[in-house]
Amino acid sequence: MSLTDLTATALLAKLASGDVTSAAITEAFLRRIELHDGQVGAFLRVDRESALAQAEAIDRKRRGGDPVGRLGGLPVAVKDVLCTRGEPTTCASRMLESFRPPYDATVISRLKAADAVLVGKTNMDEFAMGGSTENSAFRPTRNPWDLTRIPGGSSGGAAACVAASMSPLSVGSDTGGSIREPAALCGITGLKPTYGRVSRYGLVAFASSLDQIGPLAWTAEDAALLLEVLAGYDPADSTSVNLPVPRYTETLGQPLENLRIGLVREHFDQGLDGEVEAAVREAIRVFESLGAAVRWISLPHSKYAVATYYIIAPCEASSNLARYDGVHFGYRTDQRAMVAELEAQRKCLEQAGDEAGLDALDNALVRLYRKTRSEGFGPEVKRRIMLGTYALSAGYYDAYYLKALKVRRLVRDDFDRAFGEVDLIAGPVTPTPAFPLGAKIDDPLAMYLFDLYTVSTNLAGIAGISVPCGFSRGGLPIGLHLQSPPFEEERLLRAAHRFQQATDWHRRRPRLAADVA
C-alpha cells in the first residue's frame, strides 16, 4: 500500500515512529496531484516549493527533538475561501482573481501552528454558491469515481482531492450542505460543526449566519483529528462560542450505550432515489446490530427548509457581496473600454435628443459598479444577489426575509423537540448519487432541491456528518447523514467511528486512469 492510500491517522503514526518523513509524504501527494489533477480539477493552486519547504522544516524540528504540532507534518488542502496571507484567495471568482489577503484566517493560523503542510487551495463553486463545483470561474471539478459526474459542492475540490488520494485531509466550508454533500458523493467523511464551534474569521462570507468551516477526510477518526485543530474560541469572531474543545480522538472508542437514533419521516418520501434509500436503511440496520434503538420522528417544518434557506442565504449574500464594487479591492472593469463604450452611447443619445438618457449616463460611479459587477461575478452569484436584493427591498422585506426568519425558528424548534426524544438523527445526505456534469446547471430549482436534506442543519445551527454507507449499481458512493444537538460533535464522531469499525465503505478507493495504466 502506497503512502497516499493511508489515512491521516496511519500517516501520523508513521511520522511519530520515524518510519517516514513529512518531506517523503508531501512529495508522494504532490506527485499524485501532478499525475491526476489534470483530469479531476480539484486544485486551483498548488505551491510545490512552499509545501516541501514546510515539510522539511517540520522534519528538522522532529530530528532536533523539538516538539511538533498536532498534525506533525501531514499535508492539508484548503478550500479557496479561506484567507491566506500573501497568497491568492480567489473564491473561484474573477472578482478576486488577483486578491492576496494581508492576514491569515484563524483556521489557517491554527493549521500552521499544528505543523500542517499546506499543499494548495482547492476549487469550489464561486463564492461557495452552488452544489456541483461547476460554478467555478476557472474550471469544473470532476468526481474521482466517475469523471463525467459532479463531485458535489460547493467544497467539491476539497472532497475530490481526498477521494483521489491527493491529500489525506482537507478543509471546507458548509453553508447549506457544502461539506456533507461532496463528502457523500465522493465517498469520504465530511463534518459540518455546530455554528460557533470553529472561527469564521478570515472566511470570505457567503451567508454569515449559516457559514461554518469543517474537516473532510477518509474516516471519522481523521475528521476528529482535524477538528481538534480547527475548533475553539476566537475573540476575533463575534459568533465564536467560548466552550472547551474535547479531545475527540481520545473518546472515539468509548461505547455509545443506549444510543437512540431518529429517522425523519419526511426524508423518506417522494424524490428519494431507491438505491440511496436502500443503502441508508441498511446503515441503520448496522446501528441496530450495534445496540442502537431506532424510532421514527417528524420534522414537520422541514418541507419549508429549502424555500427558507433560499431566501435567507441570498439576502445575506446580497449584503456581503456589496463590498465588491471595483473601488476598494478586487476586480475592476477596464475603464478605457468603458469610456469608449460610454462615448458611443452618448453619441447615440445626443442624436436621439434623449435628455433623460444623457442624465442617467452621467453617473460615472454607478456605471463603474454596474460594469465591474456584471463582468466579475458569474451567473449563479448574480442570480443569488438579485434574489436577495429583491427580498430585502422596500415592500418585500416583511413578506420574504422576515417570514423566512420566523420559519427558521420553527425549523430549529422541530430539532429541539426531536432531540428530546433521540440522541442522533439519521437519513440520506442527497436524494440521488452524483449526477452528470451539466445535467442541472441550467435548472436552478432542480439544483437547489438537491440540498433538501442538508439545509435545515445550517438553519438550525446544529452539527452534521456524512459517512460512506454504500454504492449505487453504477459504482457511485452514497452517504449517510447523522445530525446531533449543538456542540455534540463528540457524540457524532463516536457514532460515525463505530459505524466505520463495522463497515468497510470508507476503505474503498476510486481507480483513476493513470492508476489502471
Active site residues: 79, 154, 178
Q: Go through 253-290 and write b for each residue having 16 or more CB atoms within 10 A of its CB, e for each that does not.
A: eeebeebebbbbebbeeeebeebbbebbeebbeebeee
Report the candidate in 468, 439, 361 with the shortest Cα–Cα distance to residue 131: 439
Distance CA 145, CA 166 (A): 14
Sign of CA dihedral 164, 168, 173, 179: positive
Q: What are phi and psi of 493, to 5 degrees?
A: -70, -35
Q: What is the DSSP letter of 421?
A: T
On whether the CB atoms of residues 190 and 465 are closer than 8 A, the answer is yes
Distance CA 60, CA 66 (A): 9
Exposed, middle or buried by CB within 10 Å (0-12, 13-18, 19+), for 341? middle
The strand pairing partners of 477, in sequence order, are 471
Type of residue at 457: T
Distance CA 475, CA 72 (A): 35
On whether the CB atoms of residues 167 and 43 are closer than 8 A, the answer is no
Type of residue at 255: P
Cell match 483530469: residue?
A: 39
Distance CA 377, CA 371 (A): 10
Q: Name residues whose C-beta falls within 8 Å of residue 235's C-beta, 6 or more positions apart in sequence.
A: none
The strand pairing partners of 172, in sequence order, are 214
Report the candidate in 179, 65, 69 with the shortest Cα–Cα distance to residue 122: 179
